[in-house]
A and B are shown apart, each in its own frame.
Chain A
Amino acid sequence: MKHAIKAAEAAELIPDGSTLLIGGFMGVGSPHRLIDAIVDKGAKDLTVVANDTAMPGRGIGKLVTAGCLSKVVASHIGLNPETQQKMISGEIEVDLVPQGTLVERIRAAGVGLGGILTPTGIGTLVADGKQTVSVNGEDFLLEEPIPGDFALIAAHQADYVGNLEYSLTAHNFNPIMALAGATVIAEPHTIVPIGVISPDSVKTPGILVDYLLERQPDGS
C-alpha cells in the first residue's frame, strides 16, 4: 500500500539543483499538479529532462517562465519561445537530443545499460564529441544513459500499490521515465482499489513508484 501525498509535500521532497525527468509531450501526459507545486515552492536551478518544454503557461513551460530551470535536455523547444530566449540569453543551458535517442538514453539508465548504440545522428552535429562504434560494418553512435534524481510521472490510473495505467498519447515518456528516476513520484488522474487495473493493463509496476499524489479534491 502506498501513502498518498499532497502536491506541495511532493514538491518539498525535491531539493534545488535536482535533475527531474518529467513525462509529457507538448503538455499531454505531464504531471500538471506537481509542476504547479514546484512553481509555487519557488524551486531553483533544476535540470529538466523531457521531450519538450511545451509552451508558455502550460506544463513544463510554467517551470521555464518561473525561472526554476538552469538546464533543459529535450528533443524540441520550438513551440516555447521563452525557452529559446532563455537559451540565447544564457539563463538556461539547452541540450537538444533526437527524440528516439532521448527516450532510449533514459531507458538505458533505468534498465542498467551502459548506453545505447543508435544510427540516429551519424554525420550530424549530434555526433560531435561522441564515440562511433562499428558493429558488423555499420556505424552507430554511442549515447550515454540519462538518469534522474526524480521522475515525475503522469498516469491515467493508479491502484493502491502504485501500479500505473496510461491513456492514449499520454503514455509518451512516462512509462520509460518511471524506470530511471532514483525517486519516482506519480500523479494519476484517479486512484482505484487493488484489482481494478488488470495485471495485463499495468504498464508501470507499482514497485517502481515511491510516491503517489493523492486524488484531486474534485475527483476529476
Chain B
Amino acid sequence: MEAKEIIARRVAQEIEPDTLVNLGIGLPSMVANYLPKEVHVFFQAENGVIGLGARPPEGMEDPDLTDAGGGFVTAVPGAASIDSAMSFGLIRGGHLDMTVLGGLQIDERGYLANWMIPGKMVPGMGGAMDLVAGAKHVVVAMVHTAKGKPKILKECNLPLTAQRRVSLIVTEMAVIEPTEAGLVLKETGPDASVDDVISATEASLIVQGDVPKMRL
C-alpha cells in the first residue's frame, strides 16, 4: 500500500460519527475517501461550507461552490453556507471537533510547523494557525521523513504554526501521540518495526510494552 493511502486510511479511523471535521488540502483531503459509509460526519471547508460533498458531475459545477483548495464541490443534504467570520468562529470557538493537517516538522513537545520555509516557500498560513489553535483535536497526517530526513525532531527549525501540542501524528510508519511526558509511539505501520520508526525519528519516542501494528 502506498504511504499516503496508509496514512489516509489510518486517520479515517480517528473520525467519530456525528462530528464536524476539517480536512486540509492535499493528503488530508484523501481521508474522506476511507470513511466507512455508516459514519456520518459534516466536513467543513473553511472558505464557507459545513457539509462539503463530492465533486459534481462534469458540466454541473457551481462557480460559487468550492472547497478551500478552490476545487469544485457539492454540498450534502443538511449543509450550511457560512461567511468567514462564522467559519473561523467555529474553528477558534471550540466547535470544530477535528482538523487534519499536513506537516513539515513536529517537535518533541508536539508543536507543529507547517506554513513556511523561510527564503524558499512563503505561501502564507491561510487558516492553519487558527485550525491548530482552535480545533478540539488536531491530527497531523504526513509522511514520516522528507528525502530520508526525519520530520519529527527534537526542535523544529521552521517557524511554528502554533504553540499548542497536537493530538495525534499519523505517518505511514507510525501513530504517535504527543503527551505531557513526550511523544508516545502507539502503533507502527504495516512495513515498519519499532526500531525502524526510532531510527527515522530524531525526537525521543516513548515505547511502552508491545507496540501494535496499524489495523487498516
Tell me which residues across on chain B come within 8 A of A77, comparing CB atoms. 122-124
User: Which residues does chain A contribute within 8 Å of B70, judged by CB atoms?
Assistant: 25-28, 79
Q: Please give me the residue from chain B that is nearest to A27 by CB atom.
A: B70
Residue B65 at the A interface, CB < 8 A? Answer: yes
Given contacts A100-B91, A174-B83, A176-B85, contact A120 B124 (CB under 8 A): no
Q: How far is the CB of A158 from chain B (nearest CB, A)?
A: 15
Give me 7 other A-B pairs in contact (C-beta within 8 A), A76-B126, A169-B45 excluded: A76-B123, A76-B125, A100-B134, A119-B134, A123-B162, A169-B66, A176-B85
Q: Mark A98-134, 1 if CB is under 8 A from B, else 0.
A: 1111011001000000000011111111100000000
Interface range on chain A (Cβ under 8 Å from partner) = 35 or more
Residue picked from A25, A87, A166, most chain B C-beta under 10 Å: A25
> A130 vs B180: C-alpha distance in the bound complex, in angstroms?
28
In the complex, whether B133 has a CB less than 8 A from a CB of chain A is yes
- List the 7 closest A-B pairs by CB distance, nearest first: A78-B123, A123-B163, A100-B88, A100-B130, A26-B70, A76-B124, A76-B126
In the complex, chain A residues whose CB is within 8 Å of the CB of B65: 168-169
**Residues in A neighbouring B125, C-beta threshold 8 A:** 75-76, 96, 98-99, 126
- Collect the chain B residues with CB atoms within 8 Å of residue A147's CB: none
Contacts of B134 in A (CB 8 A): 100, 119-120
A124/B127 in contact, CB under 8 A: no
B64 within 8 A of A: yes
The answer to whether A156 and B162 have CB atoms under 8 Å apart is no
Interface residues in B137-187 by Cβ distance below 8 A to A read 159-163
By the criterion CB–CB under 8 Å, are A103 and B64 in contact?
no
B-facing mask of A54-87, CB < 8 A → 1, else 0?
0000000000000000000011111100001001
Q: A29 interface residue, CB < 8 Å from B?
A: yes
Residue numbers in B under 8 Å from A25 (CB-CB): 47-48, 66, 68, 70, 84
Nearest to A88 among chain B residues (CB) is: B122
B49 part of interface (Cβ distance < 8 Å): yes
